[in-house]
């Protein structure tokens, strides 16, 4: 997707994954070619083994440092991104394979490269997404090990080279965690906006554009470049006018964010409609951001992350301590704990303990838990114990309809009764809600609203299952402001059904923080929006600039439209664009 302009600059278009403007000289990171000298004669196997083990230890230390760095710098739930790296590095089978080759007379880097090449070949063939993800991480570790053995340190190579726009075929979270400060932007061929590297780039506030096909051969080292992470453009040799305009826009952006940060006002429209803004969290890191961003509570606690990257299932006590920490930190604000949503790309390594690996898209969410009663009971006990203070609510993911919801509620009730009989201290009964993530639940919202205390619409999965597009596939992220009429109709149905029974309806998928969709979501009557804490100040500012009456009118118009393009045009028009 290269657009040549006669004015002498070139625009490469990708997907904006982290907004902001970066200016610098192109630096192409050689990722594919590590130049291993296969002809070099290895030292004695014992010496090679030592060389391998000490390189492995150094990489391990660097993983830990990077993980600690992420925790310290970002402190908002990003700290566990590298946990899986550390686990794989300790993998006995892998180490035995490498050491076996070294003992057989191979140089350490050749042995490492051979074993990891085997892994990436298996990766290409793997059908299971979980394995695919694991193998990508393994390949990254293999690279780190080879680089360590060759004395090549990835992003460090740009140190002292002035401001740089880093171009790479792929970029891993590990590399990013250690980036030198002169990197002003990332332009990458692979990866998606929901990937871990993109999450870190956003957390570090470094502009990032992904999905520029053939990027390494489309640019030259040393060329002047401007990266616009909002529009997804990499401009090579930008004119002074482009640079000036972009910088002016960046100024506006920064100014807006600063004001938003200072804004501690209530999130309500000009005509007084209160829209609660809540946080999505995956663990207990960064709970202090709840205060700095002025969150009204936690709208989605993705508890399954407590189970991932663990060799065994966490005990009731371990889970309880995590849930209690959140409930106490946020009190008296509400905390909605979602029961573990295993399945798809979130599979616990400890799944074997529970008698099987969750399938995708088969046994997922609440159905997985109901099929594993021992796991579910321990999990619910921990949640119920954390709920004594009264601010905790519970919601079940991937509920397909009434029968499953009833089954889950009965399970919860029995667990509670059993605990009461044991004399465990319990608070009053919790509010119990449903995540609306599949069309069957959305279509049955009228029925479900009778028995559910609230709804929270998971638009990430609702898009996936309504449109039949894989949420991991980035090709549809390239569509601008993509909101199909089917989703608008479903949201309307869910919200209206909730309101008829005087129950609130939230949105907790990624759509919740999209400013372009905000007037429509408010107009459809959504009561609460739950998102990464970082988005809350800007969304609050936007809510305060809107009037509910105007949003209602806009939503009525949107409900009559028949294509995503018509809805996009309506929203653009409404935003004065
Ligand atoms: C969703 O599906 O929109 C959602 C919030 O849940 P998750 O992203 O964890 O699947
Ligand atoms: Mg979901």
Residue 294, classed as helix, strand or coil, is coil
User: How confident is the model over 368-382, as pLDDT tens digits?
Assistant: 999 999 999 999 999
d(C-alpha 473, C-alpha 464), whole Å: 10
pLDDT band at 63 (very low <50, low <70, confident <90, very high): confident
Q: Is 235 helix (H, G, I), strand (E, B) or coil?
A: strand
CATH fold of 268-574 reads: TIM Barrel (3.20.20)
- Residue indicated by tokens 């509010």: 431
| Ligand in nearest proximity to the CA of 458 | 1
Alpha carbon of 436 to ligand 1 centroid (Å)? 10
Q: How far, in Å, from the CA of 532 to the mean position of ligand 1? A: 12
Q: Distance, CA 379 to ligand 1 centroid (Å)?
A: 19
DSSP string covering 430-490, please? PEEEEEE-SHHHHHTHHHHHHH-SEEEE-HHHHHHHHHT--TT-GGGGGSTT---HHHHHH
Any ligand 1 atom below 6 A from CB of 437: yes
Distances (CA, A) of 209 to 13, 36, 212, 319, 481: 8, 30, 8, 37, 17
Contact in structure between 383 and 394 (CB atoms under 8 Å): yes
Joined tokens for residue 123: 């990766």
Ligand found nearest the CA of 300? 1
CA of 395 to the centre of ligand 2 (A): 12
Nearest in space to 63 (alpha carbons), one of 47, 75, 81, 77 = 81
pLDDT of residue 381: 98
358, 433, 437, 513, best to mutate for ligand 1 pocket (most atoms within 8 Å of CB)? 437
For residues 311 and 87, what is the distance between their CA atoms, to the nearest angstrom? 9
Contact 565, 324 (CB under 8 A): no
pLDDT of residue 265: 80
Q: Specify the pLDDT at position 323.
A: 96
ω into 575 cis (within 30 of 0): no
Class level of CATH domain 34-150: mainly alpha
Residues of the chain with CATH 3.50.30.10: 2-33+156-238
316 band by pLDDT with thresholds 50, 70 and 90: very high
pLDDT at residue 152, rounded to an integer: 60
Structure tokens at 475: 């090709």
Q: Which helix H or strand E contains 3, and what residues bound it?
A: strand 2-4
Q: How does DSSP classify residue 286? A: T
Q: Whose CA is nearest to atom 4 of ligand 1?
A: 458
Q: Would residue 369 show up in a list of annotated catalytic residues for this protein? A: no
Identify which of 358, 494, 508 to mutate to test ligand 1's pocket (most ligand atoms within 8 A of the CB): 508
pLDDT digits (tens, 9 = 90+) for 409-467: 999 999 999 999 999 999 889 999 999 999 999 999 999 999 999 999 999 899 989 99
Q: Is 508 in the pocket of ligand 1 (CB under 6 A)?
A: yes
The response to whether residue 458 sits with its C-beta less than 6 Å from ligand 1 reads yes
Does residue 254 have a pLDDT over 60? Answer: no
C-alpha span between 190 and 179 (Å, rounded): 18
Q: How confident is the model at residue 83 (pLDDT cuts 50, 70, 90)?
A: low
* C-alpha separations of 116 from 35, 88, 90 in Å: 15, 12, 14
Residue 535 known to be catalytic: no
Q: Chain-centre distance of CA 297, in angstroms?
A: 19
Residue 520 confidence (pLDDT): 97
Mean pLDDT of 178-196: 82
Helix (H) or strand (E) holding 303: none
Residue 64: pLDDT band with limits 50, 70, 90 = confident
| Any atom of ligand 1 within 6 Å of the Cβ of 302 | yes
Q: Which atom of ligand 1 is nearest to 300's Cα?
A: 5
Instruction: State yes or no: pLDDT of 472 exceeds 70.
Output: no
pLDDT at 28 over 60: yes
Please tell me the number of the ligand nearest to residue 282's CA. Answer: 1
To the nearest whole percent, how much of the chain has pLDDT over 90?
A: 44
Question: Distance from the CA of 148 to the center of ligand 2, in angstroms?
Answer: 39
Q: What is the pLDDT confidence band of residue 569, given thresholds at 50, 70 and 90?
A: very high
Instruction: Enumerate the CATH 3.20.20.60 domain ranges in the chain, comma separated.
Output: 268-574
For residue 461 and ligand 1, the question of a CB distance below 6 A is answered with: yes
Cβ–ligand 1 distance for 459 under 6 Å, the answer yes
Q: At what angle do helices 485-500 and 564-574 cross, to 10 degrees?
A: 70
Q: Out of 293, 369, 508, 551, which one is annotated catalytic?
A: 508
- In the set 85, 179, 196, 513, the catalytic residue is 196
- CATH class of the domain whose range is 2-33+156-238: alpha beta
More confident residue, 269 or 245: 269
Mutation test of ligand 1: which of 435, 494, 521, 531 has the most ligand atoms closer than 8 Å to its C-beta?
435
Residue nearest to atom 3 of ligand 1 (CA): 458
Ligand nearest to the CA of 301: 1
Residue nearest to atom 1 of ligand 1 (CA): 458
Rounded distance, CA 175 to CA 153, Å? 9
C-alpha 477 – ligand 2 centre gap (Å):
17
Centre of ligand 2 from the C-alpha of residue 342, in Å: 10
For the sheet with 10-13, list strands across it.
2-4, 10-13, 233-236, 224-228, 21-28, 164-168, 183-188, 208-210, 15-18
């Amino acid at each position: 997707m290269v657009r040549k302009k006669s004015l002498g600059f070139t625009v490469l278009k990708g997907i904006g994954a982290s907004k902001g403007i970066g200016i610098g000289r192109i630096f192409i990171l050689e990722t594919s070619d590590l130049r291993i000298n296969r002809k070099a004669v290895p030292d004695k196997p014992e010496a090679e083994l030592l060389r391998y083990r000490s390189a492995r230890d150094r990489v391990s230390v660097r993983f830990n440092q990077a993980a600690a760095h992420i925790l310290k710098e970002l402190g908002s739930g990003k700290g566990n991104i590298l946990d899986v790296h550390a686990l794989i590095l300790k993998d006995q089978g892998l180490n035995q394979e490498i050491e076996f080759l070294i003992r057989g007379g191979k140089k350490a880097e050749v042995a490492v490269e051979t074993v990891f090449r085997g892994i990436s070949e298996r990766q290409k063939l793997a059908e299971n997404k979980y394995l695919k993800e694991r193998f990508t991480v393994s390949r990254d570790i293999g690279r780190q090990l080879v680089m360590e053995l060759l004395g090549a340190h990835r992003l460090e190579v740009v140190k002292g080279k002035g401001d740089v726009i880093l171009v790479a075929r792929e970029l891993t979270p590990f590399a990013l965690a250690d980036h030198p400060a002169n990197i002003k932007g990332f332009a990458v061929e692979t990866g998606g906006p929901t990937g871990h590297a993109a999450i870190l780039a956003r957390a570090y506030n470094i502009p990032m554009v992904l999905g520029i096909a053939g990027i390494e051969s489309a640019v030259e080292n040393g060329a002047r470049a401007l990266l616009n992470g909002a529009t997804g453009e990499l401009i090579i040799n930008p004119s002074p006018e482009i640079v000036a305009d972009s910088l002016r826009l960046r100024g506006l952006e920064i100014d807006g964010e600063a004001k938003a940060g200072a804004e501690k006002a209530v999130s309500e429209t000009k005509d007084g409609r209160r829209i609660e803004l809540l946080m999505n969290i995956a663990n207990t890191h960064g709970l202090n951001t709840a205060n700095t961003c002025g969150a009204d509570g936690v709208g989605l606690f993705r508890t399954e992350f407590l189970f991932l990257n663990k060799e065994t299932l966490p005990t009731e006590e371990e889970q309880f301590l995590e849930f209690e920490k959140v409930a106490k930190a946020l009190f008296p604000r509400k905390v909605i704990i979602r029961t573990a949503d295993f399945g798809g790309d979130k599979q616990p390594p400890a799944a074997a303990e529970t008698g099987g690996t969750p399938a995708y898209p088969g046994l997922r969410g609440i159905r997985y838990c109901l099929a594993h009663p021992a796991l579910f009971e321990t999990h619910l006990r921990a949640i119920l114990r954390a709920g004594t203070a009264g601010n905790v609510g519970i919601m079940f993911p991937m509920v397909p309809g009434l029968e499953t919801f009833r089954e889950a509620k009965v399970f919860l009730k029995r667990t509670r009764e059993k605990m009461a009989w044991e004399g465990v201290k319990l608070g009053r009964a919790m509010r119990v809600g449903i995540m609306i993530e599949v069309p069957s639940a959305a279509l049955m919202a009228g029925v479900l609203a009778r028995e559910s205390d609230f709804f929270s619409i998971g638009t990430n999965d609702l898009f996936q299952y309504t449109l039949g597009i894989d949420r991991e596939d980035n090709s549809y992220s390239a569509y601008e402001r993509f909101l199909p009429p089917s989703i608008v109709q479903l949201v309307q149905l869910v919200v209206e059904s909730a309101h008829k029974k005087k129950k609130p309806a939230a949105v907790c998928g990624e759509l919740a923080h999209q400013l372009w969709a905000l007037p429509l979501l408010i107009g459809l009557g959504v009561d609460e929006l739950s998102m990464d804490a970082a988005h809350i100040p800007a969304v609050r500012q936007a809510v305060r600039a809107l009037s509910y009456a105007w949003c209602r009118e806009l939503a009525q118009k949107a409900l009559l439209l028949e294509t995503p393009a018509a809805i996009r045009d309506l929203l653009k028009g409404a935003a004065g664009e």
